[in-house]
Homo-oligomer: A and B are copies of this chain.
Amino acid sequence: MPIQYIFEIIGTVVFAISGALAAGEKSGKDWFGVTFVGFITAIGGGSLRDMLLGSYPLVWVNDVNFIYAIIAGVVIMRLFYNSLDKYRRELSLFDTMGIALFTILGTEKTIELGFHPVIAAIMGMFTAVMGGVIRDTLTNSTPVIFRKEIYATACLGGAILFLILNQFDIHRTANFIISGLFIISIRIMAVYFKWSIPKFG
């Protein structure tokens, strides 16, 4: 079983957890609603990427393990639900790990399909953030990319770092880890030091 597949499954569980958390916090959500939102969050970004690239079949449509991974994520979320306030910081780390994983997986897949590095960086970021954007749109929230300012930008930065290191003779797994940790570090520091992107106007 290749390491990339294991990472994709882990990323899916992690994103389902973060999606179920977002949905569960809105009062009145039932099991179906929470699972649906966890599902959309987990598969939204990768599905959009593959549909834009015309890369069929979509990963999860051809492999039900991704569906089981999502159900596992929702159940895990439920187990920790009553002690959410105690583990809030750890839970937000799940989302950060998820976007780091999915950014690199999406960037790598796009470049391997033969597309231009600029497109690969955009698709890496899309893989990471668009599941959350669709989730927020469905739940009538302000999309995450407009709220947390260093969020999608960290993904874009990590994707670009991955593409640059990819030009040199660096082992793929090493590059994967370096670029992933870069995204995680930027996100954590951005929250800690309250970094933000300059305003447009």
Residues of chain A whose beta carbon lies under 8 Å from any beta carbon of chain B = 20, 23-24, 28-34, 36, 47, 51-54, 56-58, 61-62, 64, 67, 78, 81, 115-116, 118-119, 122, 133, 137-140, 142-143, 145-146, 149, 152-153, 196-201
- Residues in B neighbouring A133, C-beta threshold 8 A: 138
Q: How many copies does the complex hold?
A: 3
The majority secondary structure among interface residues of chain A is: helix
- A78 & B28 in contact (Cβ 8 Å cutoff): no
Contact check, A199 vs B61: say whether CB atoms are below 8 A apart. Answer: no
Known contacts: A137-B138, A200-B31, A201-B81. The answer to whether A119 contacts B149 by CB under 8 A is no
Establish whether residues B36 and A145, one from each chain, have CB atoms under 8 Å apart when the complex forms. Answer: yes
- Which of B31, B47, B52, B57 has a CB less than 8 Å from the CB of A61? B52
Residues in B whose Cβ lies below 8 Å from that of A122: 67
**Is the pair A198, B31 in contact by a Cβ cutoff of 8 Å?**
yes
B118-A149 in contact (CB<8A) = no
- Check B30 against A149 for contact (C-beta < 8 Å): yes
Partner of A57, one of B30, B54, B138, B142: B54
Q: In the complex, which residue of chain B has the Cβ closest to the Cβ of A36?
A: B145
| 26 contacting pairs across A/B (C-beta < 8 A) | A29-B200, A30-B196, A30-B200, A32-B145, A32-B149, A32-B152, A32-B153, A33-B146, A36-B145, A47-B52, A51-B51, A51-B52, A52-B61, A53-B57, A54-B56, A54-B57, A62-B115, A64-B116, A64-B118, A64-B119, A67-B119, A67-B122, A137-B137, A138-B143, A139-B146, A140-B142
